[in-house]
């Protein structure tokens, strides 16, 4: 049975003294214990910024990814190994600036992960610039006369994007934050937890005292129903987003449930495929009945299957030799880039419809290695 010590490592956090992220780290550890998780069952995926360091301060699987891209990594981890509890972490600059598109699409896609966004209304790692969450009038090095841009409403954006779990906490209210993270992880689908995490060094406006004065709890709203999306949106707008607690939740099927991938473990399947040819790998996948998934995944898998059979008939090098003998236009007309697969040795390349033979030429260097090359649109 895990304890708080189970998730502690030897790395000392180097956040500024008083940073709200310390409390978020503690909340994550306490939530993991409440959920009866072991370190090997938890994966923390973080972006860039002060908050992005959190994955290195807990003893668990961790990925410190690129700026604004924590969510694509986290979704990939979860879909590859659904047995892991996957939590993505980032800041308001990471999630609502360069990563905005990923945030929106992750919310609507509804993969079963949790996203904890540490919201300090400023870029802290780069020494105090205006962020997408900075209030109008907020003065920084980049806005010396005051910010003139309207801040993003995190909660309204989450509701509009289709998030099935929307909550907000405050790093100075640790017990509530722990409960929100536990509820988020237990929710089947994408869970968004915005956490006000004050920056004591570069934001002297949105301080602990300021948040205490302006925040109110949804539990204090008579008859509040977190399953009523319209009411949630109305209260959020009336309070200008200054609410804490579980604001909205629904039971829409997660991406895994809707696609038929629930329970399918790519990692375990690949282990079974070890030392086998791609064709034999397909046989393993077929036993998992992936071909019965009635969505885009089904079509892609059938593409792969037909391509594998084509490779088996042609041999290793005939397909790539044929491609190399042709011009780009001939490749388009004869091999066809009209959203069809192109075989290259023991690899698979799935085109996205570009006319010139860029991707075919790229795969020409694949040699005799067995692999899968997919170029998504």
State the pLDDT at residue 308. Answer: 52
- pLDDT over threshold 50, residue 376: no
Classify domain 4-255 at the CATH superfamily level: Thiamin diphosphate (ThDP)-binding fold, Pyr/PP domains (3.40.50.970)
How large is the greatest C-alpha to C-alpha distance in the chain, in angstroms? 74
What pLDDT sits at residue 35?
97
Span 204-262, pLDDT tens digits: 999 999 999 999 999 999 999 999 999 999 999 999 999 999 999 999 999 999 988 77
- pLDDT tens digits for 284-299? 555 555 555 555 555 4
How many helices (H) and strands (E) are present in the chain, helices listed first? 15, 13
The better pLDDT of the pair 341, 228 is held by 228
Average pLDDT, the chain: 80
Statement: residue 138 has pLDDT above 50: yes
Q: Which long-range contacts (CB under 8 A, 24 or more apart) does 63-70 make?
A: 67/94, 67/98, 67/99, 68/94, 68/95, 68/97, 68/98, 68/99, 68/100, 68/102, 69/99, 69/102, 70/45, 70/46, 70/94, 70/95, 70/99, 70/102
Where in the chain are all domains bearing CATH 3.40.50.970? Answer: 4-255
Per-residue model confidence (pLDDT) at position 344 = 34
Q: What is the pLDDT of residues 44-95, one digit of tens each?
A: 999 999 999 898 899 999 889 989 999 999 999 999 889 999 999 999 999 9
Please report, rounded to a whole number, the percentage of residues in the chain having pLDDT higher than 70. 70
So what's the pLDDT on residue 269? 67
pLDDT band at 360 (very low <50, low <70, confident <90, very high): very low
pLDDT score of 268 more than 80: no
Give the model's pLDDT for residue 270.
61
- In this predicted structure, the answer to whether residue 343 has a pLDDT above a threshold of 60 is no
361 or 133: whose pLDDT is higher? 133
What mean pLDDT do residues 350-361 have?
A: 38
């Amino acid at each position: 049975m895990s304890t708080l010590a189970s998730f502690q490592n030897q790395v000392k956090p180097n956040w500024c003294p008083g940073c709200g992220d310390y409390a978020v780290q503690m909340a994550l550890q306490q939530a993991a214990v409440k959920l009866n998780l072991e370190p090997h069952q938890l994966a923390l995926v973080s972006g860039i910024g002060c908050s992005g360091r959190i994955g290195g301060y807990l003893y668990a699987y961790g990925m410190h990814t690129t700026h604004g891209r924590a969510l694509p990594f986290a979704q990939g981890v979860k879909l590859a190994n659904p047995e892991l509890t996957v939590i993505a972490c980032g800041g308001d600059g990471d999630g609502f600036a360069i990563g905005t598109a990923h945030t929106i699409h992750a919310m609507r896609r509804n993969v079963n992960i949790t996203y904890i966004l540490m919201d300090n209304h400023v870029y802290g790692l780069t020494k105090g610039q205006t962020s997408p969450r900075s209030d109008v009038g907020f003065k920084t090095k980049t806005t010396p006369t005051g910010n003139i841009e309207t801040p993003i409403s995190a909660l309204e954006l989450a509701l509009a994007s289709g998030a099935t779990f929307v909550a907000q906490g405050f790093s100075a209210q640790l017990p509530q934050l722990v409960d929100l993270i536990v509820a988020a992880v237990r929710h089947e689908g994408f869970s968004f937890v915005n956490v006000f995490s004050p920056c004591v060094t570069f934001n002297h406006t949105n301080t602990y005292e300021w948040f205490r004065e302006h925040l109110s709890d949804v539990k204090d709203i008579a008859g509040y129903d977190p399953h009523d999306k319209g009411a949630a949106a109305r209260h959020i707008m009336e309070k200008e987003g200054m609410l804490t607690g579980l604001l909205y939740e629904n039971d829409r099927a997660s991406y895994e449930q809707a696609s038929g991938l629930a329970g399918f473990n790519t990692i375990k399947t690949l282990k079974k495929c070890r030392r086998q040819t791609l064709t034999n790998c397909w046989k393993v996948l077929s036993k998992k009945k992936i071909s019965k998934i009635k969505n885009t995944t089904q079509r892609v898998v059938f593409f792969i299957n037909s391509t594998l059979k084509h490779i088996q008939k042609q041999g290793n090098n005939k397909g790539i030799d044929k491609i190399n003998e042709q011009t780009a236009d001939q490749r388009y007309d004869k091999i066809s880039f009209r959203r069809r697969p192109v075989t290259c040795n023991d690899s698979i390349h799935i085109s996205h419809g570009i006319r010139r033979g860029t991707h075919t030429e790229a795969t020409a260097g694949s040699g005799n290695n067995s692999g899968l090359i997919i170029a998504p649109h």
